[in-house]
Structure 1
Amino acid sequence: MPKDHLNTMFRGALILSVSSLVAKILSAVYRIPLQNMVGNTGFYVYQQIYPIYGIGMTFALNGFPNFISKLVAEQPDATSKTLVTRRAFHILSGLSLLFFIGLQLGAHWIAVRMGDPNLAPIIVAVSWMFLFMPWLASGRGYYQGQFLMGPTAVSQLVEQVVRVGVIIMAAYFSLHRGWDAYHMGTWAMTSAPLAAICSSVIFLSFGLEKLLAPAPTATRPLPSYRKLIKRFVVEGGTLCLVAAVVILLQLIDSFSVMRGLLRQGLPVEIAKSLKGVYDRGQPLVQLGLVIATSFSATLLPALTNALAKRKAIEFKRQTQAMVHVSLALSMAATVGLVVLMPEINRLLFGSIEGTTALRVYVLSILVAALITTYTSVLQSMDQYAALIVGIVAGLATKLLFNYVLVVHYGINGASLVTVLSLTVMFAVMWLGSPEMLQKVLLESGYLIKLVSLSGAMGLAVLFTNHQISALVGPVMANSRSMAGLNTLAGVFVGVVVFVAGAVVIRLFSIREWLVLPYGKRLIKAVAKGKENHS
């Protein structure tokens, strides 16, 4: 691959990574003010339907665009690229129409299966976004296939900003005009098609020129519609499945948690409120995953480069660095959240309801981060079998056990099954991965160091919180402002202990330190300290 072409690819990957990071942070953070404004029941109403939106955006943003970009990259000339994109657009148009009609006609049936018929209008509202999926996926895929990531990055940010803005406005009007939770939810989910419209404008000139203008004459034979549909199902479906793992688990929750709580004999309003409390875990896990995987993801271009140049040793080093950084950050985030959960729960959501369920739920950060990292490596190696089998096994575990454990243990049971499902998923992926990938995780020296350091960090944070609570007394300790102070102090102590401990026990290699924020400065400071000491 020519050097300038490789540089363009890496630069595009960086642009897309930054925009994805901003979009993910926005997608996690807005739910906190939303819950504060609409309460547990309002949050339950929104979160019940959110997975349907999430699946649609996974199709339009990740799965199908990545597959279309591969189709475009395979074509030898500009005309063929345009024509294959047009065919992909036609196939996706049929698929999106099926989704749209299915959600429109089946809204009541789906709502009843979710345990709440009042959700039907919200399902109808979100269904309109599927009509824009072909336009968005084709535009993103076409440009990505030519290593032009700018349009995808801009459309992604526009979509998130518009959607979050409409949701917060809906919550504000709900608060000040006395809307009920379902009226608010309908307006909040109308944000999905509105955001899709605004995002689609980015690809207006592309669509008019490439998709709707008279088709150019083919210069070479193109893959038939039959062959393309087969590839869409197998390759595109695989990419969508991989990208939508966490959202599919949430979708299973939408169909089983509320029904399980009602089967327990709980009154409807209490069941809704409890599901809203359980849903607090989703933004926490999403933020934890952003922290755990965003820095290790910066190694992906180097990993791809090493694989392209068949540098086996370099590929192994980059893979090891990705796994080490992701595992360390996810374990630190998980331990910190578990220890600080009562304070975080009170600070962000105004109460400590569901603290046990949330403590269990955030354990999924650790496993989900490993799944994300291993998925990236296996995809770069074009090894999909272990991914698919692992995902299916994890989803089957969630389907089989979620309702039963909710009936017996409430939202604690739902949290436990989420962690169990992800663990099954990762175990199958790990067992089916190449020996090199298996060995990277089983480096006993690294794991012992990491577990010991994480335990020490957790104890230090716990001790700090106990000391602060004892100092201010029980009345002040239960206030929201005190929860904020406890959280800040805990985070500060946790970061200091973890970073200092990582330096002392040499947890990371120099390559791994350089991936982390301020890692280069830290290496220089440690080296300078050693020089002065000697």
Structure 2
Amino acid sequence: MPKDRLNTMFRGALILSVSSLVAKILSAVYRIPFQNMVGNTGFYVYQQIYPIYGIGMTFALNGFPTFISKLVAEQPDATSKSLVTRRAFHILSGLSLLLFVGLQLGAHWLALRMGDVRLAPIIDAVAWMFLFMPWLATGRGYYQGKFLMGPTAVSQLIEQTVRVGVIIMAAYFGVHRGWDDYHMGTWAMSSAAIAAICSSLIFVSFGLRHLLAPAPRPTHRLPSYRDLTKRFIIEGGTLCLVAAVVILLQLIDSFSVMRGLTRQGMPLDWAKSVKGVYDRGQPLVQLGLVVATSFSATLLPALTHALAKHQLIEFKRHTRAMVHVSLALSTAATVGLVALMPQINRLLFGSTEGTTALRIYVFSILFAALITTYTSVLQSLDQYTAMIIGIIAGLATKVLVNYQMVVHFGINGASLATVLSLAVMFGVMWLGSPEDLRQVLLESGYLIKLVLVSGAMGLVVVFTSREIRALVGLQMANSRGIAGIITLVGVLIGVAVFVVGAVGSRLFTIREWLVLPYGKRLIKSVAKGKEHH
């Protein structure tokens, strides 16, 4: 690959990584004020339908654009790139129309299967976003295939900003005008279509030039619609499946948690509130995953470059760094959240309801981060079999056990089923990986060191929070203000203990420290300390 093209690719990857990071943070953070405004039942109404939106955005933002960019990059000239994009648009238009009509006609049936027929208008509202999926996916995929990530990054930020703005406005008007939760939920979910319209505007000139203008004469033989459709199903479908793993687990929850709670004998209104409490775990897991995967993801361009240059030793080193950093950060985030969960729950959501379920649920961060990292490496190696089998096995596990676990253990059971399914998913993926990739987790006593450092951090944080609560007294300890102070102090002490433990146990190599924020400064400080001694 020419040096200029390589530099463009790296710059593009950086732009897209930053915009994705901002979008993910926005997507996680807005749910906290939203839940505070609308309460547990209002949050339940929104979260029941959110996975349908999430799947649509995975199609439009990650899965299909990545596949289309590959199709575009394969073409030998500008005319062929334009024509193959047009064919991709036609195929996706057929798919989006099927999904739109299916959701519109099946809204009542789906709501019934979710255990709440009043959700049907909200399903109707979210269906409209699928009509914009072909335009967004082909626009993003076309530019990414030409190594131009700017349009994708801008459209992604516009989409999230507009959507979050509409959701918060819907919650505000819902509260101040006395709307019921379902009316508010319908307006909140309409944000998906409104945001899709706004982000589609970025691709108007692209669409007029490549999708709606008269088609130019082909200069080379193009793949047939039949072959393209087959590739969309197999390759594009795999990419969508990988990107939507956590959302698909949430979709299974939408169809089974409410029904399981009512089967227990819980009154319907109470079950809605309890499901809303369970849904608090999703923004916490999202934020944890942002922390756990964002820094290790900075190694992806270097990983791709090493593979392209056939530098296998460098590739293995970058892979090792990605896995170690991702696992360490996800473990630290998980242990920290478990230790501070009562305070975090009170600070963010105003009560400690569901603390046990949330403590179990956040273990998802650990396995989801590993799945994300391993799928990135396996995709770069073009090894999809282990990924697909792992994801199917994990989803099947969730489908098979979720309902019964909710019936027997309530939302604690739903949390356990989620963690179990992700563990199965990663276990199958790990067993099906190349030998070198399997050994990364086991070398140099890495896991033992990580368990000891994380365990020490967790114990210190729990002890500190208990001491602060004892110091201020029971009445003050139950206020959101004190919960905030305990959380802040706990995070600072936890980070300090983890860093000291990681340095002392030599958990990371120098290469791995450099991936982390302030890692370079820390290495210099440690080196100076050794010189003085």
TM-score interval, normalised by the smaller of the two chains: over 0.9
Which residue matches 1:302? 302
In structure 2, distance between residues paired with 1:298 and 1:71: 25
Distance 1:162 1:130 in 2: 17
Distance 1:497 1:98 in 2: 53
The residue identity in structure 2 corresponding to 1:123 is I
Residue 19 of structure 1 aligns with which residue?
19
Counterparts of 1:452 and 1:31, CA distance in 2: 34
Q: Give the alignment of 1:240-255 within 5 angstroms.
A: 240-255=240-255
Q: 2:35 & 2:444 partners in 1: Cα distance?
A: 42
Summarize deviations over 1:342-383 as a string: whole Å, max 9, x none. Answer: 000000000000000000000110011000000000000000
Match of 1:67 in 2: 67
Which letter does structure 1 place at the counterpart of 2:244?
A: A
1:467 and 1:408 map into 2 onto residues whose CA distance is: 35
Which residue is equivalent to 2:107? Answer: 107
Q: Does 1:413 align with 2:402?
A: no
Q: How does 1:156-305 map to 2 (within 5 A)?
A: 156-305=156-305
SS for the counterpart of 1:203 is helix
Deviations 1:12-49 (A, max 9, x none): 00000000000000000000000000000000000000
- What is residue 7 of structure 1 aligned with on the other side? 7
Counterpart of 1:202 in 2: which secondary structure?
Answer: helix
Tell me: CA distance 1:261–1:444, structure 2 relative to 1, closer, same or farther (3 Å).
Answer: farther
| 1:115-171, Cα deviation, whole Å (9 max, x unpaired) | 000000000000000000000000000000000000000000000000000000000
1:384-423 deviation per Cα after TM superposition (whole angstroms, max 9, x unaligned): 0000000000000000000011011100000000000000
In structure 2, distance between residues paired with 1:53 and 1:35: 18
Question: Separation in 2 of the partners of 1:155 and 1:376?
Answer: 23
Instruction: Tell me how far 1:307 sits from its aligned partner.
Output: 0.7
TM-score by structure 1 length? 0.99
Deviation of 1:176 (Å): 0.7
Q: Which amino acid aligns with 2:500?
A: A
What one-letter code is carried by the residue in structure 1 that aligns with 2:5?
H
Structure 2 match to 1:44: 44
- Work out the CA distance in 1 between the residues paired with 2:40 and 2:154: 33
- Matches of residues 437-452 of structure 1 in structure 2 within 5 Å? 437-443=437-443, 445-452=445-452
What's the counterpart of residue 391 of structure 1? 391
Provide the residue aligned with 2:87 in structure 1.
87
What is aligned with 1:339?
339
Q: Tell which deviates more after alignment, 304-313 or 44-53.
A: 304-313
Aligned-partner Cα distance in 2 for 1:92–1:122: 24
Residue of structure 1 equivalent to 2:472: 472
Cα distance in 2 between the residues matched to 1:328 and 1:226: 45
What is aligned with 1:508?
508
Structure 1 position 190, deviation (Å)? 0.4
1:524 lines up with 2:496 in the alignment: no
What's the counterpart of residue 487 of structure 1? 487
d(CA) in 2 for partners of 1:25 and 1:241?
22
CA deviations 1:304-360 (Å, max 9, x no partner) are 111111111111100000000000000000000001000000000000000000000
Give 1:116's aligned residue. 116
Cα distance in 1, alignment partners of residues 324 and 345 from structure 2: 29
For residues 532 and 444 of structure 1, what CA distance do their matches in structure 2 show? 28
CA displacement at 1:470 relative to structure 2: 1.0
State the identity as a percent: 82
Shift of 1:444: 5.3
CA distance in 1, matches of 2:412, 2:378: 33
CA distance in structure 1 between the aligned counterparts of 2:163 and 2:532, rounded to whole angstroms: 54
Query: 2:332 is aligned with what amino acid?
Result: A
The match for 2:147 is 147
Paired letter, 2:377: V
Match of 2:318 in 1: 318
In 2, the alpha carbon distance for the partners of 1:218 and 1:444 equals 56
Aligned-residue offset at 1:501: 1.3
Question: Which amino acid is 1:460 matched to?
Answer: V
- Give the deviation of 1:532 after TM superposition: 2.3
Residue 225 of structure 1 deviates from its aligned partner by: 0.3
User: 2: distance between equivalents of 1:112 and 1:531?
Assistant: 69
Partner of 1:355: 355
Give the letter aligned to residue 125 of structure 2: A
Amino acid at match of 1:403: Y
| 1:183-235 alpha-carbon deviations (Å, 9 max, x no partner) | 00000000000000000000000001100000001111111000000000000
Which one-letter code corresponds to 1:321 in the other structure?
A
- How far apart are the structure 1 equivalents of 2:24 and 2:81? 30
CA apart distance, 1:443: 1.9
Q: Which runs of 5+ in 1 are unaligned?
A: none
Partner amino acid for 1:438? R
How many positions carry a matched residue from both structures? 533
| 2: CA distance, partners of 1:452 / 1:516 | 20
- Distance in 1, Cα, partners of 2:370 & 2:275: 27
Give CA-to-partner distance per residue, 1:450-472, whole Å, 9 cap, x none: 10000000011011111101111
* Distance of 2:312 and 2:146 partners within structure 1: 27
Question: How far 1:240 sits from its partner (Å)?
Answer: 0.4
The separation in 2 between residues aligned to 1:402 and 1:503, in whole angstroms, is: 41
Structure 2 distance, partners of 1:414, 1:352, is 18
CA distance in 2, matches of 1:475, 1:246: 38
How far, CA to CA, are the matches of 2:87 and 2:332 in structure 1?
A: 47
Task: Give the 3-state SS of the residue equivalent to 2:164 in structure 1.
Answer: helix
- The Cα RMSD (Å) is 0.6
User: Shift in Å at residue 10 of structure 1?
Assistant: 0.6
1:442 positional shift:
1.6
Q: Secondary structure of 1:441's partner?
A: coil
